[in-house]
Structure 1
Amino acid sequence: MKKVFFALFFSTLLLSACTEETDTNIMESEDIQGIAATAKETAEKHDISKFEEYDLQEIIDGDTIRIKYNGSSEKVRFLLIDTPETNHETLGEQPYGPEAKEFVKKLLEGQDTVYLEFDVSYRDKYKRLLAYIYTKDGISIQEQLLKNGLARVAYIYEPNTKHVDWFKSIQETAQKSAVGIWSVEDYVTNRGYDKDAYNAAVKENKEESSTRNDENSCVIKGNINSKGNKVYHMPGQKDYKNTVAEEMFCTEKEAKEAGFIPAKQ
């Protein structure tokens, strides 16, 4: 059975950017700001002295940015990770896509440049640049996306596998903690993200919550007194708190049908 596991800071919807289908995102914009702020303070600062610095032009989504490269405006695809889509021509917006993009924005907030670490091959089949991305402070964007459950390790193609073991270890920890994309069973697949599985899991979780709420609404106490009389007590009545219930009822009708009579006060 699919379950939705809510981590400490995963509570409700994201931004108003959610589509009518994605009444399902469970991370708020305030959460993203807080997570990014914590990352800036606590993340490992890597040595970027040997990496190239480039002008940052645009954050396209959670795993793609645009930079000024050798005089031209070019897209850079983050190596070895994949974040949910924000505006894909066929997949549309996927849960946690806007969050991933917002997270990258917050990590790079106030910075007009980024540092790129290239692997062996510089470009993919779409002619996009491929790189590991770092802030001026040496924070690895890929590392933080994986750590906070906003990306999965993916697109592992030789010869660009320099950091694959490192990234997989970070992902394993996020999976065990059930954060972000890992908080919903079956949402992450080997092919990407299953929006239908996500929505189904959230729907089931809501139904279970509704059932629990209904059960909790059965507050009428049925008690058999010392004379053997079957009496039911309503919340707010004099002896309600001290009454030990042999049975609980949701409605007075149920209590009466079970042979109980109302308490006098």
Structure 2
Amino acid sequence: MRKIGMLIAILLMAGCSDNELNGLSGNVTYVVDGDTLDVKLEDGTVERIRLLLIDTPETKHPTVGVEPFGPEASAFTSQLEGEFVELELDVAERDRYGRMLAYVWHDGEMFNEMLLEQGLARVAVYPPNTKYVDEFRAIENEAKNAEQGIWSVENYQNEMQNDKPAEGCTIKGNINSRGDKIYHTEGSSYYDQTIPEEWFCTIEEAKSAGFRAPK
């Protein structure tokens, strides 16, 4: 059991119920793709859920089309259809599309983590929801080293690093060879040549994530 799962077990043994820990629960009624699904909550409402801190390859994007391992990611998540899941929220509850943002738990395992382990997703950081980012990066690195899934595709990592940011989020977060976390705004000297590992909408978000301005 990984670090996150061990933490959950400890909390449960300490007397925290599943509902207290994960907040919401219900049954999966439909899987849109690898990182998006519909859940009918126990109060009868249906929420579209976007899995937090990960991004799976596209299968239905109007311009990108079907990406490598997109169908595999969708098929992997489809095993949740009809299953009971628990939803753990982070700081921001919804994205700009109104979807609920959550870590999805099934049978005591975090499904976001499982997709990363299989190489069917990459880490995608959108502050302030960064609760498990360090753990997720460690799992992603293991999948990369094992050339699992998407990481078996030549140049996949370099291509994904150049993804366009969300609208209005143009601050680049980069980690240099010494491990320094530095953010670059559009007016920074090295902005154009900087390859972003994270995108931020505001300087405050970048600082909250541990990034500093360039010297």
Q: TM-score range by the shorter chain?
A: 0.5 to 0.7
The equivalent position to 1:122 in structure 2, one of 73, 76, 93, is: 93
Q: CA deviation at 1:89?
A: 1.4
Counterpart in 2 of 1:162? 131
Identical residues among aligned pairs (%): 46
Distance 1:124 1:94, change over 3 A: same
The equivalent position to 1:146 in structure 2, one of 97, 102, 116, is: 116
Higher Rg: 1
User: Cα RMSD over matched residues?
Assistant: 2.4
Q: CA deviation at 1:110?
A: 5.5
Q: How does 1:1-265 map to 2 (within 5 A)?
A: 46-47=8-9, 49=18, 50-51=21-22, 52-69=24-41, 71-106=44-79, 108=80, 111=83, 113-135=84-106, 137-154=107-124, 156-188=125-157, 189-192=160-163
In the alignment, structure 2 segments of 5+ residues that lack a partner are: 10-16, 165-215
Residue by residue over 1:137-181, the C-alpha shift from the partner in whole angstroms, topping out at 9 and shown as x without a partner, is 111111111011000001x12221000001000001111111110
Q: CA deviation at 1:191?
A: 4.1
Residue by residue over 1:59-103, the C-alpha shift from the partner in whole angstroms, topping out at 9 and shown as x without a partner, is 111000011245432211000000001111111111101100111
Q: Which runs of 4+ in 1 moved over 4 A?
A: 44-48
TM-score, scaled to structure 2: 0.63
Give, in whole Å, the separation in 1 of the partners of 2:137 and 2:72: 21
Letter in 1 for 2:122: R
In the alignment, structure 1 segments of 5+ residues that lack a partner are: 1-38, 194-265
Count the aligned residue pairs: 148
Give, in whole Å, the separation in 2 of the partners of 1:145 and 1:115: 16
Q: CA deviation at 1:122?
A: 0.4
Residue by residue over 1:24-78, the C-alpha shift from the partner in whole angstroms, topping out at 9 and shown as x without a partner, is xxxxxxxxxxxxxxx9xxxx57547222212321111100001124543221100
Letter in 1 for 2:101: L
Distance 1:192 1:134, change over 3 A: farther
